[in-house]
Amino acid sequence: MVRILHSTPPKNVLLLLPLCTAAVLLAPFAGAERTPSGEAGRTRRVTGRVLDRDGHPIEGATVRIKGSRHWTRSDGQGTFALELPAGRKPPLRITAAAEGYYIQGRDWDGSNPVVFRLEAVPREIDERYRWVDPGPSRARPRACANCHPTIYAEWVSSAHATSAVNKHFLDVFYGVGARGDTPPKWALVRDRPDGRGVCAPCHVPQASFGSLALADPARASGTEREGVHCDVCHKVRALATEVFGLTHGLHAYELSLPPPPKQVFFGPLDDVDRGEDAFAAVYKDARFCAPCHEGTVLGTRAYTTYTEYTQWLTEGEYRAGRTCQSCHMAPDGKKTNIAPGHGGIERDPATLSTHAFAGRTLEMLREAIRIKVEADRTSRTELEVRVQIAVRDTGHRVPTGFPQRHLVLLVQAVDPSGTPCPLRKGSTLPDLVGTSATVDQNLGGQPGAFYGRILADAMGLAPTPYWLATQQLQDSRLWPDRTQVERFVFGVRKGSPVRVRVYLLYRKFFPALEQEKGWEPSERLVYRKEFVVR
């Protein structure tokens, strides 16, 4: 039995108290759980703490068996206990990651505690920083493609890679035309010289970040001409705004451009422990895309994709967790190592995103749009054609993006001689849809439906450039997860068979703009059905 002889401990006992307290705090991670190397296989969990360089605990850090789905988080004291799954035993590589810190890894042989001391990522913007060129090169060891050839090949095929040099963008920006002496209608810098620096934060982000004077795409050089390239995206540590549409492109992000020889790359993986990588949750967030896909540009609400997404997201609980990246960076199921031969490890392919940024492909459009066509005679002299058109598995309106993108539904009914049957009920196409390259006809006035936006100037002339638009005459684009039914009634001859043709066409631009610029027609056939009603 021990008796307490003093109401207060003697000085020598007081001196021992901090050591005793530390021993109690560390007891779960101390020698009691330390196993000899020969008994390492008996250890069923990894325990320890995650601290910063000054010894302060980091709460909420992710501690993971590298390359696996087995992880845990540190508590308010920085402590963690990571249970080992069946079949896993030392030696293992354990990583720790927390936002704002470099990811760190430790080789674990079964001995506890494991203590991580994470280094904070530099937050400054150093003017001496030299952006990493993505293209492969033996002369540039850090070139992105040297280590990530598959991801680089995906990115090269995307619109991000050509955003600074895209012909459509440059022709509209500078007012290039193909009609000789006729002044082009679409000439942004002629009409709005003050808008020169508005487009660059998304199209030429690196140049716009350095100086608005360099925001002119014609002055872009070096890695600036790579558009939305690897290093531009992976320097984002967080968003600088919660209000999207008014601050564009790179100006809406918080970046880290560390002083030499420091380097940092942010991303969605939390176990890349090369010493210059950091985890940032924003890469898994749809808001990461918003600064370039939502925008009021030169007075017109030109881009609305992010707003469309947020509206779609709130319409059903099952959509929780669905982001832009879920579709446009969906894993292809093939990649298992994104840096083969350069420190990369084998991973579950479901954890590796594609960088092709799918969305402009005809295949994806066909998957998003579901069409059902029915036709029957409602009387001896009338034929009704019903077209059900719906958008599924898509988180925004179709089409979205550039205001001129649109769909054209064309419905035709012809008699045995090839003569069109007269339309008695149903909508007709506006004249501005022009001539179709697919059916080689002028579509204006023909039976059908237009799904797109029509912007007009103060005089009502349409379609007009968005920087000159003062009104929106129409926005009939398709809504996600809704079905639209179009009905057309044609006059037919008694007893005569009728051939019905239904087309759905997609265009990036109105024909008038393509003709002005001398571009190839952008029209693509999404759907076609032809049948005979007797």
Answer for the pair 495, 488: CB distance below 8 angstroms, yes or no: no
User: What is the b/e burial string over 422-460, where b = at least 16 CB atoms within 10 angstroms of the residue's CB?
Assistant: ebeebbbbbebbbebbbbeeebeebbbbbbbbbbbeeee
Residues in a beta bridge with 94: 65, 106
Residue at which a domain ends, from 297, 323, 351 = 351
Rounded to whole angstroms, the maximal C-alpha distance in the chain is 118
Give tens-digit pLDDT for 172-190.
999 998 877 788 999 999 9
Residue 29 binned pLDDT confidence (cut-offs 50, 70, 90): very low
8 A C-beta contact, residue 406 and residue 453: yes
428 in a structural domain: yes
DSSP secondary structure, 298-350, as one string:
TTEEEEEHHHHHHHHHTT-GGGTT--HHHHHT---S--S-SSTTTT-----GG
8 Å CB contact between 199 and 188? yes
Summarised one tens digit per residue, pLDDT across range 407-452 is 999 999 999 999 999 999 999 999 999 999 999 999 999 999 999 9
Angstrom distance (rounded) from CA 488 to CA 430: 16
> Is 90 in the same domain as 157?
no
In a domain, 390, yes or no: yes
Q: Are residues 250 and 160 in the same domain?
A: yes
- Residue 512 CA to residue 433 CA, distance in Å, equals 9
Tens digits of residue pLDDT in 128-142:
999 999 999 999 999
Q: Same structural domain for residues 324 and 396?
A: no
Do 509 and 368 belong together in one domain? yes
Q: Is residue 239 part of a domain?
A: yes
Residue 117's CB is within 10 A of a number of other CB atoms, namely 15
- How much is the pLDDT for 211? 60
Among 123-127, 149-153, 252-256, the minimum mean pLDDT is found in: 123-127
For residue 19, name the pLDDT band (cuts at 50, 70, 90). Answer: very low
503-511 mean pLDDT:
97
Write out the residue range of the structural domain in which residue 78 sits.
11-118
- The pLDDT of 28-32, averaged and rounded, is 34
Per the listing, tokens 């400054």 go with 124
Residues 281 and 172 in one domain: yes
* Confidence (pLDDT) at 505: 98
| Same-domain pairing of 388 and 245 | no
- Number of structural domains, the chain? 3
The CATH number of the domain where 15 resides is what? 2.60.40.1120
Measured CA to CA, the distance from residue 313 to residue 412 in angstroms comes to: 37
| 306 plus 344 within the same structural domain | yes
Structure tokens at 108: 């674990």
Nearest CA to 203 out of 248, 240, 152, 241 is that of 248
Question: Which residue matches tokens 């020598």?
Answer: 12
Span 34-65, pLDDT tens digits = 443 444 445 689 999 999 999 999 999 999 99
